[in-house]
Chains A and B, each alone.
Chain A
Amino acid sequence: MPGPIDYSKLRILPDFDTAEWWAGTKARKYLVRQCKACGHKWFPPIFPACAKCASLDVAWFEASGKGKVYSYVVVVQPIVGAFIGAVPYVVAIIELDDCKEADGTVTRVAGVMLDEESEVAIGLPCEVVYEETNDPKIVMPRWKINGTAANAWRFTE
């Protein structure tokens, strides 16, 4: 697995729209925003209104924390100091299994994989894993591959 993230160099500052989301990860719940009017779900929670019906009457949906890798990058040159010891690490966009809507919309989220580059591929299933940080208020969601897929695609150049 990649090296550790030095959370002493990364201060997460929740705000009025996101504090409940971070409270969610602390309670080991992966939340996405959900519209009370039309049911649409989205991420990240910085957006306080529904992009499908413009309602501001929004709630939370507790996702299973399971999904599939939609795309990924392998960060080789670190930019954020907290991640210097973690390179090379994989950041992925993940399609959540239980956030598919009738019109084809799928809620996609992003996060840091716990897996090595050689273990990650587009199409593979994965699940959220929670990681304690230096800040007792902040628990960081990471993602881990948890299965195989016939159509998995890996960047091999």
Chain B
Amino acid sequence: MGALTDKYCIVGVGETPHMRPSNRTTLSMACEAVTKALADAGLKPGDVDGMTSYQAGDSTTSPHVATALGMRLNYAVDILGGGSSGEALVAHAIGLIEAGYCKTMVIFRSMNGRSGRRMGGQTPGGPVPVANAEGDAQFNMGWGWTTPAQRFGMSAMRYLHDTGCTTKAFAEIAVAHRYHATLNPKAIHRSPITIEDHQRSRWIVKPFRLLDCCQETDVSVAIIVTSRERAYDLRHPPVFIMGGYARTLTDSPQWNYSRESLHYVAGNYGWKRAFGMAGITHKDVDFVSCYDAFTFTTLIQLEANGFCGRGEAGEFVKGGRLQIDHELPSNLSGGHLSEGYTHGVQMVIENIRQLRHRADDACPGWAEGKHTYDRKAGCRQLRKADLCCGMGWGWENMASCLILRGMAA
């Protein structure tokens, strides 16, 4: 796979606003995200001949979007999945383009994640009045244990027990990602928070408080992948795909808790592959994105992907390490915790913008790559943004990664 490093690029990104509620169909939102990504790349609908998406039975499909936008596709496949699927579909795109199935692919996710189907089974209005527990749900809904917060809380609790970490480490992540959201005009939550604000917020499911949990929103996102040769002719300097892993699983992944440690999550099995493909070390990484459905998922992904030793993530994130202008900035758009919730692709989009040096912040010249680096004036562009590691998370048991570099690296 090393031979594919840098052969493929992400050339276009687009998204709708984060809405609550959208009052729109997932098809309408997907069309907006895809056309914005096309415009960003400088492509016309007819230039794209492959489309994929991921969903949980809650969204439109690639053939619908292609019909709406007048695209005749050579490849259209929609997969089941949530977090970690966007990065995995980038891997699909590389394989498909390499093999000649198509030339340029768009990947989208469109979801009414707040006003429609919510994760974990609750209705938009609150608890499920009467629930059928069938299949897997016999052995989780039956115990009143359904949501991602409830499930990930179990590994978080054991992590606190095993490592001596406290929820102040969770707070560090909430504060860092919120700080970045204050620099992002698109973010849902833009008021800064403190460690104390986190510690005072109400309990959702112990050990998680309100400020440990992401912001469900209605949104669609799209990215475009093509070969390096085509990428050079497009609107922006290309962002090169250096390496990754795609929906890598732990052993005993599904509703079975007998693996050695609940918090030995899937990234542990993937990162050597990704860093090996990319030919880099952790020291080369300028910034990261971590699927922050919860503060804890960021914490444990940093550890799982080798940014710190096992059991050390709580210490690692202390002192604002993940904040812009510190050692390892994370989720520069504010992430799921503060910008909104797109099942991961918004992190890829932000990473692309940072690597292009075109973060869409308050700087008047951002579109031309002119930034002040004055955080008080709302600039969120990193000074050095040459190489990033994006980490996607499905459950504890499923993870993806995408290592990207900009033209300067």
Chain A residues with CB under 8 Å of chain B are 5, 8-15, 18, 22, 42-47, 51, 70-84, 86, 88-89, 91, 93, 104-112, 117, 122, 140, 153, 155, 157
Partner of B138, one of A9, A46, A107, A112: A46
Q: Which of B274-322 contact A (CB under 8 A)?
A: none
Contact A74 B258 (CB under 8 A): no
**Provided the pairs A10-B141, A11-B131 are in contact, do residues A110 and B257 lie with their beta carbons within 8 angstroms?**
yes
Closest to B136 in A: A46
Contact B133 A10 (CB under 8 A): yes
**Provided the pairs A12-B142, A13-B132, A110-B257 are in contact, do residues A51 and B150 lie with their beta carbons within 8 angstroms?**
no
Contact B207 A79 (CB under 8 A): no
Is B262 engaged at the interface, CB distance under 8 Å to the other chain?
yes
Contact B127 A11 (CB under 8 A): no
A47 to B205 Cα, complex, angstroms = 28
Chain B residues with CB under 8 Å of chain A are 120-122, 127-136, 138-147, 150, 153-155, 157-158, 160-161, 166-167, 199, 202-207, 251-252, 254-258, 260, 262
Contact B138 A110 (CB under 8 A): no
Contact B206 A117 (CB under 8 A): yes
Smallest CB–CB gap between A52 and chain B, Å? 10
Total A-B pairs, Cβ < 8 A: 153
Partner of B206, one of A76, A86, A104, A109: A76
Contact B135 A15 (CB under 8 A): yes
**Provided the pairs A42-B258, A105-B258 are in contact, do residues A155 and B133 lie with their beta carbons within 8 angstroms?**
no
List B contacts of A73 (CB < 8 A).
Answer: 145, 150, 153-154, 157, 205-207
Query: Could you list 10 A-B pairs, sorted by A, with CB under 8 Å?
Result: A43-B258, A46-B138, A70-B262, A76-B202, A78-B127, A81-B131, A104-B260, A107-B258, A110-B139, A122-B157
Partner of A80, one of B127, B257, B262: B127
Closest to A41 in B: B258
Contact B154 A12 (CB under 8 A): no
Q: Give the 7 A-B residue pairs with the shortest CB-CB distance, closest first.
A: A83-B144, A74-B206, A44-B139, A71-B158, A13-B134, A73-B153, A108-B257
Contact A80 B256 (CB under 8 A): no
A126 to B254 Cα, complex, angstroms = 25
Contact B157 A79 (CB under 8 A): no
List B contacts of A153 (CB < 8 A).
Answer: 161
List A contacts of B167 (CB < 8 A).
Answer: 157
Contact B138 A51 (CB under 8 A): no
A89 to B205 Cα, complex, angstroms = 10
Smallest CB–CB gap between A64 and chain B, Å? 17
Smallest CB–CB gap between A115 and chain B, Å? 14
List A contacts of B128 (CB < 8 A).
Answer: 79-81
Contact A93 B142 (CB under 8 A): no
List B contacts of A72 (CB < 8 A).
Answer: 154, 157
Known: A71-B161, A78-B144, A91-B145. 14 other contacts (CB 8 A): A5-B144, A13-B138, A15-B135, A44-B136, A44-B138, A46-B138, A75-B144, A76-B202, A79-B144, A80-B146, A84-B127, A91-B154, A112-B144, A155-B157
List B contacts of A155 (CB < 8 A).
Answer: 157, 160, 206-207
